[in-house]
Structures are given as structure tokens and as C-alpha cells.
Amino acid sequence: MDISLVANSMQNEIAPNNSNSKQEEVATNFEKIFARKLVKEMTKDSFKMGDNKGLMGQSNNLYRKHIVDTLATEIAEQRKLGMADLVTKYNK
């Protein structure tokens, strides 16, 4: 029995699934980056405090970063912006 034929046929079956999965991951990551920039810009004035150098300003910046990252991740995973769909559609 020639095992190389079986190995090649199995690899051909696995490769498209891996590349498709990788493509989806890259598209979602792109949407996450785009969403992060968008949310960061939209909330830039919402978290301003008078004392940016003090303890309250630092904790406020940390809180803003957490909020921006959480919102961007949720938006990207739900594909609300449609950027990931466009990347997958035109990358085929």
C-alpha cells in the first residue's frame, strides 16, 4: 500500500479548511483593529479629566483602554461593521 497517496489526499482535504479558518481569523482581527480605532476616536472626549498626570487620570486612562478594547472585541466578533465580511469576500 502506497501511503504517500493517502497522505497527499488527506493534506489536500485539510489545507482548504485551515486556510479558510486562517482567513476568517485574519478578517476578524482586521475588523477588531478597525473597531478599536473607531471606538477610541468616538470616546476620546468622554474620559477627559483635569488631572491626567495624577492617580485619577492614570486610572481613568486605564479604564478607557479597557472599555475601548472590550467594545472593539465585541463589535469585531459579532461582525457588526462588515469589514471582516468584505475582507473575506474580496480575498477569495
> Would you list the domain boundaries of the chain?
3-90
Q: For the chain, give percent helix, strand, coil, nearest 5.
A: 80, 0, 20
CA 29 – CA 73 distance, rounded (Å): 9
pLDDT exceeds 90 at position 13: no
Model confidence at 58, pLDDT cuts 50, 70, 90, reads confident
Tens of pLDDT along 34-55? 999 999 898 887 766 655 566 6
Model confidence at 1, pLDDT cuts 50, 70, 90, reads very low
